[in-house]
Each structure stands twice: as structure tokens, then as C-alpha cells.
Structure 1
């Protein structure tokens, strides 16, 4: 079987797709990938050949946390037009000869249309329950609220998608000889989307009108060793606190804030520089700044994980059995912060409240013995077979 897997966005959007690709390859299937251009080399290092799709979603160096690079409404419209057309062109080219298309993430404008044109099965997988319209939550990413109110907000969200994208989708569908759509979000998700999230961390919500299937999280095993400098730092004292905000455009001053808070808690710090290029404030022996790292190898050796609340980082920390402090920025990160609190495996704080004193309080809460014990107990319940479940579903669909 030949399967096309597409992922657009940041590393958190793309890595689950690559994890599924690895499982499909292990089962002997022919895998094609479409990923943003900044991930082509990484995917190649794993033995895959990939075609570029979309743009490299990385904030330019020097503008993290500023408003200088925000696009105008005209630039946004032009960018959307380019992104939609590019997705249609890239997906159509890569899908020739394929038996099925699997698209990861909610911003998959072309996958289901291309599959429709080719007459092959397709499915879109999302990585957080709050991406699915539900009376259980609104589209802002935080559960709760009145069910009728939540559904009205989802109607507003659907209208917003249509205003941004519907005309562009229909232009490209016309190029394929396909009929026009009336609603973008329902087309992207289809009738049977997948939820690629762990059922303990992110259980499937009520989804009236959808036949959603939860596969479990798509995790890519990582055997990359930690660099010698980090190994030496870990061996030189008690487990440190890991702090990293991944691809989020946090203020560069966040580095100083988190180091001050972790020191006040009496802990050493491993600071992940991330796309914001955070750095140490001095050369004291109690901290180390690192680049990309194997979180699967590092997290079991730290006392706590402070992060932005991406689905992948939340799941990796939960699997490691360490408490978490989430500083959510937007979207599903708010949901994962809520889940960590609800499960009693960590704390969270608002991004706007990020200062040394508030982070210290949140960190002390996460380091509480009861929280640490619950985090350790939960670790064994996080499933590791999400890609296997998805692969079996793909094989059935293609058959």
C-alpha cells in the first residue's frame, strides 16, 4: 500500500505525522510525506523522502516577543491565498498513485479535496480534543461552560473559517473540477476525524454529528543521546527543572524570569533556548542552556517540566512521570493546562502573569510531594500504541 501523510505547521504539528510514517514503514508500506520546507532535512535524516508543503513557520531571529513582524490584513489575505493554493498543488502532486491520504492538524485545506478527486480514502487527525466542535467546550481551548453557549460559539468559529478561507478553497476545488463547499471546518474534519491524543490525558469529548475515533497519541521514539555537556550537568547534582517554550514567540526576558524563579525554588535549571533563543543570564554553575534535545531521554531525569502546553510536550512529560507547570499561549495549550490541573499532575499560570514570583508559586505547587506522586502514578497509564492503532485503521480503509 502507498500512503501519503501530510503535516503543516510547527514541529508539534509535523512530528506526529512522522511518527505514523515510521510505523507504516515498519509494517512494510510505501510512505510519502509532505512537510514544511524547514523539516525536509530532518525527515531525510530519518530515511524518508518528503515534498515541501506550506512555509517554514519560524519567527525571524531578533523579533521574538515583539509586534514588529505582524502582517497587515492585506498580507494575511495574500498569505492565505498562497497557502491554500500551495497545499492543493503539493498534495495533488504527492498523492499520485497513492491509496490513502492521512493529514495531521486542523489546517489541512487540501487533503480531503485531493482524495475526493482521486477517489481514494482520506482522514484528518487532530491532536487535541478541543479542536473538535463539541458542547463540552468552546473553540478558545478551555473546557466547561454552558453546552448551548459552546455550540453557538462553534457556529461563530465556523463563520470565521468561512470568511478567511472558503472562497480560496472553492477556487482550488474548481481547478480540480469539484463542486463548491458551503462550510470550511466541516469539510476539513469530515464526518469521521481522528483524535490523536492519549485518552487519559485528553479524552474524546461529545461530538454530535461526527463519528470521531480516538487513536491515542502518535509518538516518535527517539534514541538520540544527550550531549556530553548536558550529561555532565545532570550528574553534578540533584534533578534540575527543565524550562522550554518550544516554537512560541515568548519575550526574551522570559529567560531571566524563569532562571530567577527556579533558583528561588532551590533548584538547578535546564533552559531550552527554543525559537525565542532564550539564554542564560550569567555563568553560574546551577544552569545550562541547550538547543534541541531528546525530551524522552531528558524528562525522566528532571524534577519538573515548565513549558507552553503543546500536546507533544505535555504527553512526553506525563509519560516521564514528572510534574508540569504549563504557561499556555493560545489554542489547545489552554486545554492541556486545564487537564494537567484536573488530573493533579501539575499547575499552570497565565502567560500575562509570567513573572518570577508567580512562576515560583506555580513551581512550588508542582513540586509538592502529592503532585509528584500523582504524576508518577499516571505515567504508566499513558498509552504508547497510538501509531499502531492508526496504522491498523489505515490498512482497513485501504482494503
Structure 2
């Protein structure tokens, strides 16, 4: 079978698709990938044929960040127009000769249209329940609230999607000889989307009008060893606190607040610099700064994981059985913070309320023995077969 897997966005959007690609290749299938240009070298190094799609989502840092300006509405419209057309062109090119298309993430403008044009099956997978219209939550919000109000907000979200991209979708579908659409978001998700998230961490909500299949999280096994300096730091004393905000545009002040609070609590710190290139601020021996790291190897060796609340990091920390402190910034991150609190495996601090005092209190709560015990107990319930479930579905769809 020839499979096209496409992922757009940051590492958290792309890595699950690569995990599924690895499982499909292991089963003997021919796999192609569409990924943003900054991930081409990474996936090519893993032996995959990859086509660039979209733009590198990495935000500017340092002097470039200071000089960056907020884009105008006209610039945003031009960017969206470019992204939609580019997705159609890149996906169409990569999909030639393929038997099925699977797209990861909710911003997959072209995958289902290209599959329609080729007459092949396709599925779109999202990584968090809040990407699915539901009376159980508002768009990108925390679970709960009034169900009728949530549905009204989803209607507004659908209108917003139409305003942003419906005309652009129709223009590109016309190039393919396809008819116009009436519902951009509904078309992108399709009637049978997948939820690539763990059933315990992210239970499936009510989804009227959709037949959602929950596969479990798509986890890419990582055997990369930790750097010697990090190994020595971990071995030198009690387990430290890990702090990292991944691809989020966290500022230096956020890093300093967290480090100071961890120190005040008597904890050492492993600081993942991330795309924001966070710095330690001093060369004290109780902190170490690191770049990209194998979280699967590191997290079981720390006392707590402080992060932004991405789906992948939340799942990896839960698998490691360690408490979490989430500082959510946008998108689905407030949802994951709410789930960590609801499960009793950690705490969260709203970014706008972040201070040394508020974070120290949150960290203290997360390091409570009861929280640590619940986190350890939950670890064994997190499923690791999500890619296998998805691969089975792909094979059945193309049989």
C-alpha cells in the first residue's frame, strides 16, 4: 500500500504523523510524508521521502523577536491564501500514486479535497477533543459549561472558519474540477475524523453528527541517549524539576520566574531552552540548560515536569508517572491543563497569573505525595498502541 501522511504546524503537530509513518513502514507499506520545510532534514534522516508543505512555524528569537511586528489583517489574509494554495499544490504532488491520505491536525485544508479528486480514502486526525465540535466544551476551551452555549459558540466558530478560508478552499477545489463547499470546518474534519489522544487523559466527548474513532496517542519511540553532561547532572543529587515550553514563544521572564520558584522550593532545574531559547541567567550548579532531548528517557528521572500543555508533552509526562505543572498559552493547552487537574496528577498556572509566588505554590502542590502517587499509578494506564490502531484502520480502509 502507498500511503501519504501529512502534518502541518510545530513539532507537536508533526511528530505524531511521523510516528504513524514509522508504524506503517514497519508493516511493509510505502510511505510518503508532507511536513513543513524545517522538518524535512529530520524525517529524511529517518529514511522517509518528504515533500515540504507550508511554512516553518518557528517564531523569531533574540533581536529578530524584538523587531518583529504584529501582522496586519491584509498580511494575515495573504498568508492564509498562500497556505491554502500551497497545501493543495504540495498534497496533490505528493499524493500521486497513493492509495490513502491521512492528515494530522485540524488545519488540513487540502487533504480531503485531494483524496476526493483522486478517488481514494482519507482521514483527518486531531490531537485533542476540543478540536471536535461538541456540546461538552467550547471551541479550544476547557470542558464543561452550558451545552447550548457551547453549541452556539461552535456555530460561531464554523462561521469564522468560513469567513477565513471557504472562498479559498472553493477557488482551489475549482482548479481540481471539484464543486464548492458550504462548511469549511465540516469538510476539513469529515464525518469520520480520528482522535489521536489517550482515552484516559482525553476521553471522547459527545460529537453530534460525527462518528469519531479514538485511536489513542501516536507516540514515536525514542532511543536517543541523554547527553553526558545531563546524565552527570541527574546523578549528582535528588531528581530535579524539568522546565520546558517547546515551540511556544515563552519570554525570558517566564523562564526566570520558574527557575527562581523552583530554587525557592529547594529544587534543581533542567531547563529546556526550546524555540524561545530560554536562558538560565547565571552559571549556578543547581541548573542546567539543554537543547532537544529525549523526553521519554528524561521524564522518569525528574521530580516534576513544567511545560506549556501540548498534547505530546502531557502524554509523555503522564507515561513517565511524574507530576505536571502546566502553564497553558493557547489552543488546546488549557484543555490539557484542566485534564491534569481533574485527574489529580498535577496543577496549572494561567500565564497571565504567573509569578514566583503563584508558581511556587503550584509546584508545591504538584510535588505533594498524593499527587505524585496518583501520577505514578496513572502511568500504566496510558496506552502506547495508538499508531497500531490507526495502522489497522488504514489497512482496512484500503483493503
Q: State the TM-score bracket (shorter-chain normalisation).
A: over 0.9
Distance across 2 between alignment mates of 1:367 and 1:67 = 39
CA separation of 1:128/1:63 partners in 2, compared to 1, >3 Å: closer, same or farther?
Answer: farther
- CA gap 1:309/1:3 in 2 versus in 1, 3 angstroms: same
CA drift at 1:44:
1.2
Whether the aligned pair in 1 keeps the contact of 2:329 and 2:351 (CA below 8 Å) is yes
Q: Distance in 2 between matches of 1:233 and 1:303?
A: 14
Describe the shift of the 1:63–1:69 C-alpha distance in structure 2 as closer, same or farther (beyond 3 A). Answer: farther
SS at match of 1:123: strand
Match of 1:70 in 2: 70
Structure 1 residues 93 and 9, CA gap change in structure 2 (3 angstroms): same
TM-score (norm 2): 0.99
| Residue matched to 1:92 | 92
**Residue 258 of structure 1: CA displacement?**
1.1
Q: Deviations over 1:127-158 (max 9, x none)?
A: 00010000000003211111111000000000
Matched position secondary structure for 2:252: coil
Which position in structure 1 is the counterpart of 2:107?
107
Task: Name the counterpart of 2:379.
Answer: 379
Deviations 1:145-204 (A, max 9, x none): 111110000000000001000010000000000000011000000000000000000011
Q: CA-atom RMSD, angstroms?
A: 1.0
1:259-317 residue CA offsets vs partner (Å, 9 max, x unmatched)? 10100111000001011110111111100000000000000000000000000000000
State the match for 1:248 in structure 2. 248
Aligned to 2:345: 345
Q: Secondary structure at the match of 2:82?
A: helix
Paired positions, count? 399
Q: Aligned partners of 1:65, 1:329: CA distance in 2, in Å?
A: 18
Give structure 1 regions of 4+ aligned residues with deviation exceeding 2 angstroms. 63-69
CA distance in 1, matches of 2:218, 2:42: 18
Once the two structures are superposed, residues 23-57 of structure 1 have per-residue CA deviations (whole angstroms, 9 ceiling, x without a partner) of 00000000000000000001011111200000000
1:211 corresponds to 2:219: no
- Identify which range, 208-217 or 248-257, moves more after superposition: 248-257
Aligned counterpart, 2:390: 390
Paired with 2:272 and 2:64, the residues of 1 have a C-alpha distance of: 15
Alpha-carbon separation, structure 2, partners of 1:44 and 1:300: 29
Instruction: Give the gaps of 5 or more residues in structure 1.
Output: none
Q: Shift of residue 68 of structure 1?
A: 3.4
Q: Which residue of 1 aligns with 2:30?
A: 30
